[in-house]
Amino acid sequence: MARHGKFYAGLAVAAVFILLEIAAMSMLKRSSVLQDIWINRASHNVMAWTWGKVTVLRNYLSLQKDNQVLAGRNYELFKELQHYKEMERELKAMAKLDSMGFRSRFNYIPAEITAMGTNSRHNYIILDKGSDDGVKPNSAIITPYGVVGMIYSVDRHYSYGLSLLNDRISVSARIGREGLVAPMSWDGHGTDRAVLRNIPLHLSVAEGDTVVTSGLSTFYPADIPLGVTMGSRLVDGAVNVVDVNLFIDFASLRYVIIAENPDRQTIEKMEQ
């Protein structure tokens, strides 16, 4: 009887051991599956992050190329527009004009900004075009949205200019196409503001009028939009000035146009 009891006890222990082994194998298999799932999930996350960064980089490089293409198209459109503007002024001044023999007053060269300062009263700009590209000192730096500055000195491959955000630069401007002409310069306080100076005291200027380059200068082409008037005010009770909100955004500026007047020296000699 005792021997049968020991036999059944051993059989019960063996059965429990086998059940525990089966449970352990089952748990190990389940644990392995979970491990596979977590490993796959982690690898997928890494792959997604990597491809995301690659896509961002590809889009950035593509955007750079697109911006260069757009800048080139804007340059060509600007040249064509300036040509027609000059023809229009000549047609108004003359009864007849042989348009086939018409010569544009300015030569234009596209350029990209290499460096630019905006944090002092004597801000500068460096462009990636120089004397080998036909750039000359005293050429204007412009965009279709305003005046950027003027070329001061020229190297073979680079040009150094004074920004409009420099108290040494002044632009002959006109309020509207037929309005008052006055010098415009930076107000010294922000990158988006300028002032029209020497305004007669008896004249007041309304807000919202467009300010353009006057064309009464050998440096800047005419009718380039500069900004919008913000009304006139007295300074020190004696001088009337007009605040101008500039169109050009110096913070995002990258591509510009160099405008050179080949007849500037001849005209200046005649003026003297």
Name the DSSP letter for residue 208: E
Tokens of 40: 């796959």
Which residue type sits at 112?
E
Name the DSSP letter for residue 251: G
Confidence (pLDDT) at 55: 62
Higher-confidence position of 166 and 272: 166
Evaluated on CA atoms 247, 253, 259, 260, the torsion sign reads positive
**Count of domains forming the chain:** 2
Band (pLDDT 50/70/90 cuts) for residue 131 is: very high
Q: For the whole model, what pTM was predicted?
A: 0.66
**pLDDT by residue (tens digit) across 71-91?**
666 766 666 666 656 655 554
**Same domain for 116 and 76?**
no
Q: Which residues contact 47 (CB under 8 A, 6 or more apart)?
A: none
**Same domain for 41 and 62?**
yes
231: left (phi over 0), alpha (psi -120 to 50) or beta: left
Higher-confidence position of 59 and 34: 59
Q: Which of 104, 126, 153 is the last residue of a domain?
A: 104
Q: If you average pLDDT over every residue of the chain, what do you get?
A: 77
The proportion of the chain whose per-residue pLDDT surpasses 90, expressed as a percent, equals: 37
Q: Which of 87, 104, 121 is the last residue of a domain?
A: 104
Evaluated on CA atoms 145, 146, 148, 151, the torsion sign reads positive
**Same domain for 116 and 242?**
yes
Band (pLDDT 50/70/90 cuts) for residue 127 is: very high
The residue segments making up the domain with residue 239 are 105-271
**Same domain for 118 and 86?**
no
**Same domain for 124 and 247?**
yes
Burial 165-184 (b: 16+ CB within 10 A, else e): bbeebbbbbbbeeebbebeb
Minimum mean pLDDT range among 32-41, 110-119, 203-212: 32-41
Is pLDDT above 70 for 265?
yes
- Cα-Cα-Cα-Cα dihedral of 257, 262, 267, 270, to 10°? 160
Is pLDDT above 90 for 51?
no
Specify the residue for token string 């089952």.
Answer: 26
Confidence (pLDDT) at 147: 94
Cα-trace Rg, the chain: 36
**Same domain for 113 and 214?**
yes
Contact 165, 195 (CB under 8 A): no
Confidence (pLDDT) at 195: 95
Helices within the chain (DSSP H only):
2-93, 264-271
Contact 196, 184 (CB under 8 A): yes
Between CA 105 and CA 11 the distance in angstroms is 111
Is pLDDT above 50 for 242?
yes
End-to-end CA distance of the chain: 139
